Amino acid sequence: MPQETFDLVVAANRLPVDRVREGGRSVWRRSPGGLVTAMESVMNDRDGAWIGWSGVAGKAPAPFEQDGMHLHPVALSAEEVRDYYEGFSNGSLWPIYHDVIVPASFKRRWQAAYEQVNRRFAEVAAGLAAPGATVWVHDYQLQRMPQFLRELRPDVRIGWFNHIPFPPVELFMQLPARDALLQGLLGADFLGFQRRADAQNFLRACRQLLADEQVSVRGDVVRMANGHETRAAAVPISIDTAAMTELAATTAVQDRAAEIRRQLGNPTHLLLGVDRLDYTKGIRHRLKAIEELLREGQLAATDTKLIQVATPSRERLAAYQQIRDDVELTVGRINGDHAHIGAPAVTYLHRSFPREEMAALFVAADVMVVTPLRDGMNLVAKEYVAAHDDDGALVLSEFAGAATELKQAYLCNPHDIARTKQTILRAIEATAFERAPRMRAMRRQVQRHDVQHWAARFLADLAAAPGQP
């Protein structure tokens, strides 16, 4: 029987659901991260196929339908998980694309696995795409795929969106695979980035690193020797704002938020951090600032509490084991010094929660503290704005893509601990009168620029891109 084909095919390293073991059984659970949060709500309104890895090494589960979407698992062997996912994607690219907060490593074996897996994704997409279909490729794990797919299926429109920053050329050029990565992306018709600076970094890399006979760059378009053109522009991602606001307003979520505050002894100030446990998120810097404020008596653990949700992530990588150890040590020390029996200063939660519980945390928190050292966007900041009422405050790092849009946040440089402490204090001490206009302006921004708006803009830009000669 011929395989069913689709007018829209999404390709991401992960499927929206992950195969995990629970109570001795294998079950599907929502995958971690902002990519899935955003694309899940986009795909709920559209027919299409989503290809991605199931999260488990070995044979791929059979394709299946979920929420009107065709999910098509792509197999990764244990060696490929190690070399393509943990190695090249998260040991080479992730650090380079995030300002080398930890050193990057390069191995030729990793690069070969990246090629092989990107080729496999292209082959699967080529088989699922209807004639003239749109294929929407996502993120840093699949930068070679657009070129491979164009070779197999010159008839399809190919778009790629980068959920993370694109690095300045001085960092990008460290990558031994730099030319191949650029060539891979230039297989696409349209490339979407979180910020203008990211798109410009990409264009500058093409101009500087590819030979004049290979490409010419005019404005935001790169033209290859064969005539194919690729446009690069900023299309900042967002959240399903209405859905988050609605969920937050339900009685169940409001009651749960009140219960969370009660369980913490109804603190005067409840601070919240929600991050994947990643070294890019600045959790250490945040804890240091809060620890100093407690030690100096500028904050009192009797009336100020912090909840830190730290979602498990990439746990086999040494840099992630290190950040986990550091965070857990610091939380232990803060509680040892400042907690009372039954009343921790920091409530640390290292696991995933249902959306309702996340919404309740956003509603409960007086101050949301988002302090990444580098972040493509940071959807958590937008989720807080959508969920919380006017009497809230967002402390936001200048190094998160979200800072470009959420200008009324209490902006900070997390490397500057002294100023970060002052900013946290300002947010805590701000009156309702000062907070309300800031929260309202930020809410308007995420209402106008929600994830549906983002997807529509991306797809319109892709359709309008010059593409083939």
Q: Minimum Å distance from CB 316 to ligand ADP? A: 17
CB closer to ligand G6P out of 142 and 222: 142
Burial class (CB in 10 A: 0-12, 13-18, 19+), 25: exposed
Sign of CA dihedral 176, 179, 184, 186: positive
Q: Angle 191-197-198 (CA atoms, 0-180°, nearest 5)?
A: 40
Q: Contacts with ligand ADP in 184-243 (CB under 6 A)? A: none
Q: Which of 9, 14, 28, 34 binds ligand ADP (CB under 6 A)?
A: 34
The angle formed by the CA atoms of residues 344, 348 and 349, to the nearest 5 degrees, is: 135
Site string for ligand ADP, 277-316 (x = CB under 6 A): --------------------------------x-x-----
**Is 219 buried (19+), middle (13-18) or exposed (0-12) by CB count in 10 A?**
exposed
- Judged by CB under 6 A, the stretch of 71-79, 98-106, 335-343, 374-382 that binds ligand ADP is 374-382
The catalytic position among 198, 275, 375, 450 is: 375
Residue 375 annotated among the catalytic residues of the structure: yes
Q: 337, 338, 281, 275: which is closest to 307 by C-alpha? A: 275
- Write out the H or E segment, with its range, that includes residue 157: strand 157-161
Closest approach of ligand ADP to the CB of residue 380, in Å? 4
Q: How far is 393 from 281, CA to CA, in rounded Å?
A: 19
* Closest distance of CB 251 from ligand ADP, Å: 21
Q: Which residues contact 73 (CB under 8 A, 6 or more apart)?
A: 15, 51, 52, 53, 54, 60, 61, 62, 63
User: What count of residues does the chain have?
Assistant: 469
* Binding segment (CB under 6 A) for ligand ADP, from list 132-140, 190-198, 201-209, 350-358: 350-358
Minimum CB–partner distance for residue 100 and ligand ADP (Å):
17
Q: Does 17 bind ligand ADP (CB under 6 A)?
A: no
Q: Does 163 bind ligand G6P (CB under 6 A)?
A: yes
Task: Identify residues 304-333 at the interface with ligand G6P (CB under 6 A).
Answer: 313-314
Q: Which of ligand ADP, ligand G6P, none sits in contact with 106, Cβ below 5 to 8 A by type?
A: none
- Amino acid at residue number 242: A
**124, 74 in Cβ contact below 8 A?**
yes
Among 238, 284, 273, which residue's Cα sits nearest to residue 406? Answer: 238
Q: Please pick, among 70, 72, 98, 163, the residue that the annotation labels catalytic.
A: 163
Question: Considering only residues 164, 217, 274, 380, which one is a binding residue for ligand G6P as defined by CB under 6 A?
Answer: 164
Whose Cβ is closer to ligand ADP: residue 48's or residue 165's?
A: 165
Q: What is the DSSP string of 280-306?
A: GG-HHHHHHHHHHHHHTTSS-TTTEEE
**Exactly one of 358, 367, 424, 446 binds ligand ADP (CB under 6 A); which one?**
358
30 SS3 class: strand
DSSP classification of residue 185? H
Nearest residue by C-beta to ligand ADP? 34
> Which amino acid, 399?
F
Partner whose binding site includes residue 311, from ligand G6P, ligand ADP, none (CB under 5 to 8 Å by kind): ligand ADP
Examine residue 138 and tell whether it contacts ligand ADP (CB under 6 A). Answer: no
Which of ligand G6P, ligand ADP, none has residue 137 at its interface (CB below 5 to 8 Å by kind)? Answer: none
Among 34, 48, 52, 401, binds ligand G6P (CB under 6 A): 34
Select from 50-58, 144-152, 297-305, 376-384 the region that touches ligand ADP (CB under 6 A).
376-384
For ligand G6P, the closer of residues 35 and 188 by Cβ is 35
Q: Is 432 helix (H, G, I), strand (E, B) or coil?
A: helix
β-strands 215-218, 221-224: how paired?
Answer: antiparallel
- Cα gap 106→381, rounded to integer Å: 33
Q: Is there binding between residue 33 and ligand G6P (CB under 6 A)?
A: yes
C-beta closer to ligand ADP: residue 278 or 291: 278
d(CA 251, CA 73): 38
Per the annotation, the verdict on 220 as an active-site residue is no
Determine how β-strand 69-74 pairs with β-strand 48-53: parallel
The verdict on 275 binding ligand G6P (CB under 6 A) reads no
Which of 5, 19, 30, 32 touches ligand G6P (CB under 6 A)? 32
Q: Which residue carries 């701000």 as its tokens?
A: 430
Counting contacts by CB under 6 A, is residue 35 touching ligand G6P? Answer: yes
Q: Is 39 in the site for ligand ADP (CB under 6 A)?
A: no
Of 34, 74, 51, 75, the residue nearest 128 (C-alpha): 51
Which residues are tagged catalytic? 163, 375
Interface with ligand ADP by CB under 6 A: which residues? 33-34, 37, 274, 276, 309, 311, 352-353, 358, 377-380, 383
- Residue ranges binding ligand G6P (CB under 6 A): 13-14, 32-35, 139, 163-164, 313-314
